[in-house]
A and B are shown apart, each in its own frame.
Chain A
Amino acid sequence: MFTIVDRRLNPSGKSLANRQRFLRRAKEQVMRAVRDASAKRGIRDIDMGGDISIAPDGIREPTLRRSSTGGQRDYVVPGNKEFMSGDKIKRPPQGGGSGRGNEGSEDGDGQDEFRFVLSREEFIDLFLEDLELPDLAKRKLAVTDAMDWHRAGYSVAGSPANLNLVRTMRNSLARRIALNRPTGDEIKALRQEIDDLERSGRDRERLEQARLELAEALKRTQRIPYIDPVDVRYNRFAATPRPAAQAVMFCLMDVSGSMTEHMKDLAKRFYMLLYLFLSRRYKHVDVVFIRHTHRAAEVDEETFFYSAETGGTVVSTALEEMARVIKERYPPGEWNIYAAQASDGDNALSDNTKTALLMTDSILPDCQYYAYLEVGQEGMMPGLPYGGGPRETDLWRTYKQINAGGVLAMRRVTERKEIYPVFRELFAKDKAGQPAEVSA
């Protein structure tokens, strides 16, 4: 007298509604935590979900309970080894907590930071929201090399090779039925009847009528074609840009003393976005970090963001380094090359010509896209060149003169919230290769 029920196939995620309520509740803290986490995280880890710690205020569930300190208390505890009654024992540190804690001391109800795991989607949503982003998915993809063709319904025009017979015949049949075109069987039956009647010579009235019917039927057959141009359907193929398999992203940054933490943070956020964007399109994204002062070197991420060097600023060194890396490891035929350069715009005067030359001759021809991000001090007027003054920076002026045919883009940013709009401007340039709308 018992039943056994399999509930495994019940819709899972019953806790989803509760989880959403919880996230909504804790939104502010979660946002703060995500912001902190993304600042600490490496660029490559940006699109992973992960542990988030949030402070318990706002998600605390208070109850009326007695304080854990003060007053007279009695504990009964197991494992006596040496004590006799009447012995004095030192109070264990943190007063009063001795040997009680049978209620959730381990999960630290409400006391510790509360840790939980955000899924990848949740993390990205919140990360993007922090940058005041609308939905990233709605943004159009930029150009890619290859197109994938796949079936996308039917069209009324096309090449004979793509004729869809089934659909065409179905349309034809429907039209013939609707317009009441006599079928071959009907005509054959009429002819047979006429034949019979003629042979037997009886019922002349019926013979007359049958002849009329046959004439009418033949007339209809001619008027209503078996297949009409309106019936014809072709298979339609639509092109979708196929993400090339791999891409490399160059992060170039000026790390001379004039780059403040804030500027690096802006740059990092831009790189993160770029990485997020690229990793959605390519199966495999490499990141190369190149920092430069008057010398340039390829470094790891840690060094890239967290070490401060001093020295003069010679931008061309970074470009040379980039060209070297491309030559050694990333043949442009196989790799999609992207670069993002963050700088405060300073450059040695003597270097400007060399920089321009390098860009036009070797860097830009290899790149899918080269984004130059000029970062400014916090609180400076957005959109104005570095220093807030009317003067354009050296680098800006140099790059402006380069005619790059859309591969080079330049923007200035001084505050976090500008990053996304700028990013969007830079990468929403795709107007050509849009997939055609699908129609039946």
Chain B
Amino acid sequence: MTLTAFETAPLYTGADWDYDKVRRVYDAIENVALEMGLDTYTNQIEVITSEQMLDAYSSIGMPLFYKHWSFGKHFARDEALYRKGQRGLAYEIVINSNPCISYIMEENTMTMQTLVIAHAAFGHNHFFKNNYLFQQWTDADGILDYLSFAKAYISQCEERYGHANVERVLDAAHALMNHGVHRYPRRRGPDLRNEEKRARERLEHAEATFNDLWRTVPTKAGSNSPLSDRDRRRTLLELPEENILYFLEKKAPRLQGWQREILRIVRHVAQYFYPQRQTKVMNEGCATYCHYRILSTLHERGALTDGAWMEAMHSHTNVVFQPEFDDRRYGGINPYALGFAMMQDIERIVTEPTQEDRYWFPDLAGRGDAMGALRDAWANFRDESFILQYLSPALIRKFRLFHVADDARDPEMKVAAIHDERGYRAVRHALARQYDIAWAEADIQIVDVDLVGDRKLMLEHHVMNQILLEEEEARAVMQHLANLWGYEVVLDEVETPGATPLRRINVAPRVVLGGA
């Protein structure tokens, strides 16, 4: 804890908030944040109603988004749950943009606003700005412009081509959304600010160079196309390709320009959220640690009343509560709980290491600069590597984590490791893997396509640990894919590439989305 305790008057008393109080609190928080060395985008704090919060909630938290029925569905469900009191609203939504937008709800008390500002406007904001994944994959400067372009573009398409037609493309694109990301940087990250311009240029170029004569050029009938050679064809098509949306956008034979553009929009959105999916524990851990530390500092200095501090801690404890596996409330590991515990644990290792810590974390233990160590961790890791690197035996004991191995062929599950000397590494390894998106998500690639033959699109799911896809859902997604591709689609589930498939899903298009 920072020990620059000095007495000041409380920033506010009572529960009601107003703009003056928010400004005062913001400035006080900012001072503490600067002492902690947090580095943030400029903040923009927006006051909204609970209904608007629900709105934002159901369109993936974005302030503006294109229209689609699924957002209405999520809104309806969230609203029903909220009204029945089965679920509280998120206290905050924060957007990875520059300026960084955080929402506070008008119904909240002043203490909640303080908590949210410390949590979102500083914790999340710092994480967004400094984590390498976000730096590599997202463009905070351009996202809002891009979304407004996307919204306008899609509504134009609705006007021009009809709601139903646009909806079909979006449905299909959403089904494949998780397979619309580039997982490895192979080019410069997308510059969203220029996307709109580039879309226009692409269209202009296509219009300018259109020459109907090309259609009449006779092709050599029956000649051997160079593409009939499988390897060459795959090289030309840059196969295998795991970004299915990207492949469709570039290579699907029958799609029209606007349909490709919609795929592109969905793909960009998916890519934008990709880092968030990989850093849940870290991101929430960082934000929770920040609000805890900032608020406790303010409280020590007398800037928060005891009452406000108690209220804040009440919410804080609710958020970081981790039910045990046999508790009815258990629903997996709570990223807030794990993240916050790990951040505190790092602080402990750095400032008051035990003998065990010195053995496990020789570089970290006793280093003395807790914030420095945390900032390093926040900048350079994602959940999987973070857990692999930082989960300490002390924390494994605290959570009483244990590793269960479940093999469907055995009648019973086996406890593979517990929180003991022999188990620490195994538990840590298994938990890290649970957060590895490459393990959590099915590995599906487009492997081949016969462009001169029947144009059948071949995909492979590389089955890990004999876990196949959910068949019914997979069929539905493949149907969407076939509709986009315009021809038959085959998905093989194989254990090793090229082996006999364990299961084959074969779908012909029902509604061809491209075509005239």
Please list the residues of chain A having a beta carbon within 8 angstroms of any beta carbon in chain B.
Answer: 1-8, 10, 12-15, 17-26, 51, 59-81, 83-91, 95-96, 98-103, 105-107, 114-117
Establish whether residues A21 and B163, one from each chain, have CB atoms under 8 Å apart when the complex forms.
yes
Interface residues as binary, B228-256 with A (CB distance below 8 Å gives 1, 0 otherwise) = 00000000000000000000000000000
By Cβ-Cβ distance, the 9 closest A-B pairs, closest first, are A102-B332, A79-B324, A22-B72, A18-B72, A71-B467, A116-B76, A62-B476, A71-B466, A21-B69
For the complex with contacts A26-B73, A98-B413, 13 further pairs of A-B residues with Cβ separation under 8 Å are A1-B42, A4-B44, A19-B72, A20-B72, A64-B461, A64-B474, A68-B470, A70-B466, A70-B467, A77-B404, A78-B400, A89-B415, A96-B406
Report A229 CB to chain B, min CB distance, Å: 54
Establish whether residues B414 and A74, one from each chain, have CB atoms under 8 Å apart when the complex forms.
no
Please list the residues of chain B having a beta carbon within 8 angstroms of any beta carbon in chain A.
Answer: 19, 22-23, 26, 30, 42-49, 51-52, 54-55, 58-59, 67-73, 75-77, 79-81, 83, 99, 103, 106, 121, 163, 167, 171, 174-179, 322-327, 330-333, 399-408, 411-420, 422-423, 427, 430-431, 433-434, 441-442, 444, 461, 465-474, 476-477, 480
Interface residue from B69, B412, B422, B472 paired with A89 (Cβ < 8 Å): B412
26 contacting pairs across A/B (C-beta < 8 A): A2-B26, A10-B52, A17-B67, A19-B75, A22-B72, A22-B76, A23-B72, A62-B175, A65-B473, A66-B441, A66-B467, A71-B468, A74-B416, A76-B333, A78-B324, A79-B400, A83-B402, A89-B412, A89-B413, A91-B411, A95-B408, A98-B406, A107-B77, A114-B77, A116-B73, A116-B80
CA distance A76 to B444 in the complex (A): 25
Interface residue from B45, B175, B405, B468 paired with A3 (Cβ < 8 Å): B45
- For B99, the chain A residues whose CB sits under 8 A away are 3
Establish whether residues A102 and B54, one from each chain, have CB atoms under 8 Å apart when the complex forms.
no
CA distance A115 to B473 in the complex (A): 21
Given A12-B49, A66-B442, A105-B331, residue A117 in contact with residue B324 (CB < 8 A): no
Which residue on A lies nearest to B459, using beta carbons? Answer: A64
Interface residue from A64, A78, A89 paired with B414 (Cβ < 8 Å): A89
CA distance A281 to B203 in the complex (A): 58
Establish whether residues A18 and B69, one from each chain, have CB atoms under 8 Å apart when the complex forms.
yes
Which residue on B lies nearest to A21, using beta carbons? Answer: B69
Establish whether residues B330 and A99, one from each chain, have CB atoms under 8 Å apart when the complex forms.
yes
Interface residue from B179, B332, B406, B423 paired with A74 (Cβ < 8 Å): B406
Establish whether residues A70 and B408, one from each chain, have CB atoms under 8 Å apart when the complex forms.
yes
Given A5-B44, A18-B75, A60-B476, residue A75 in contact with residue B406 (CB < 8 A): yes
Establish whether residues B58 and A63, one from each chain, have CB atoms under 8 Å apart when the complex forms.
no
Establish whether residues B412 and A91, one from each chain, have CB atoms under 8 Å apart when the complex forms.
yes
Establish whether residues A88 and B68, one from each chain, have CB atoms under 8 Å apart when the complex forms.
no
- For B54, the chain A residues whose CB sits under 8 A away are 15
Establish whether residues B406 and A73, one from each chain, have CB atoms under 8 Å apart when the complex forms.
yes
Establish whether residues B44 and A2, one from each chain, have CB atoms under 8 Å apart when the complex forms.
yes
CA distance A106 to B87 in the complex (A): 10
Establish whether residues B52 and A72, one from each chain, have CB atoms under 8 Å apart when the complex forms.
no
Given A6-B47, A91-B413, residue A65 in contact with residue B442 (CB < 8 A): yes
Establish whether residues B69 and A75, one from each chain, have CB atoms under 8 Å apart when the complex forms.
no
CA distance A7 to B26 in the complex (A): 18
Establish whether residues B332 and A100, one from each chain, have CB atoms under 8 Å apart when the complex forms.
yes
Given A61-B175, A114-B77, residue A7 in contact with residue B418 (CB < 8 A): no
Given A70-B468, A75-B403, A81-B400, residue A101 in contact with residue B415 (CB < 8 A): no
Interface of chain B: mostly helix, strand, loop or mixed: mixed
Report A297 CB to chain B, min CB distance, Å: 39
- For A60, the chain B residues whose CB sits under 8 A away are 476
Establish whether residues A21 and B474, one from each chain, have CB atoms under 8 Å apart when the complex forms.
no
Report A193 CB to chain B, min CB distance, Å: 69
Interface residue from A3, A22, A26, A76 paired with B430 (Cβ < 8 Å): A76
Establish whether residues A8 and B52, one from each chain, have CB atoms under 8 Å apart when the complex forms.
yes
Establish whether residues B408 and A71, one from each chain, have CB atoms under 8 Å apart when the complex forms.
yes
Report B15 CB to chain A, min CB distance, Å: 18
CA distance A64 to B477 in the complex (A): 7
Report A115 CB to chain B, min CB distance, Å: 6
CA distance A21 to B423 in the complex (A): 52
- For B58, the chain A residues whose CB sits under 8 A away are 15, 18
Residue among B83, B332, B441 with most chain A CB within 10 A = B332
Establish whether residues A2 and B43, one from each chain, have CB atoms under 8 Å apart when the complex forms.
yes
CA distance A417 to B407 in the complex (A): 57
CA distance A20 to B401 in the complex (A): 46
Which residue on B lies nearest to A110, using beta carbons? Answer: B473
- For B121, the chain A residues whose CB sits under 8 A away are 2
Given A65-B473, A66-B469, residue A83 in contact with residue B415 (CB < 8 A): yes
Residue among A22, A63, A90, A95 with most chain B CB within 10 A = A63
Given A64-B178, A99-B404, residue A15 in contact with residue B72 (CB < 8 A): yes
CA distance A213 to B349 in the complex (A): 110
Establish whether residues B406 and A72, one from each chain, have CB atoms under 8 Å apart when the complex forms.
yes
Which residue on A lies nearest to B432, using beta carbons? Answer: A76
Interface residue from B59, B423, B472 paired with A85 (Cβ < 8 Å): B423
Which residue on B lies nearest to A79, using beta carbons? Answer: B324
Establish whether residues A74 and B433, one from each chain, have CB atoms under 8 Å apart when the complex forms.
yes
- For A77, the chain B residues whose CB sits under 8 A away are 325, 330, 333, 401-402, 404
CA distance A67 to B330 in the complex (A): 21
Report A199 CB to chain B, min CB distance, Å: 76
Establish whether residues B72 and A91, one from each chain, have CB atoms under 8 Å apart when the complex forms.
no
CA distance A73 to B71 in the complex (A): 33
- For B174, the chain A residues whose CB sits under 8 A away are 61
- For A67, the chain B residues whose CB sits under 8 A away are 467-471
Report A112 CB to chain B, min CB distance, Å: 10
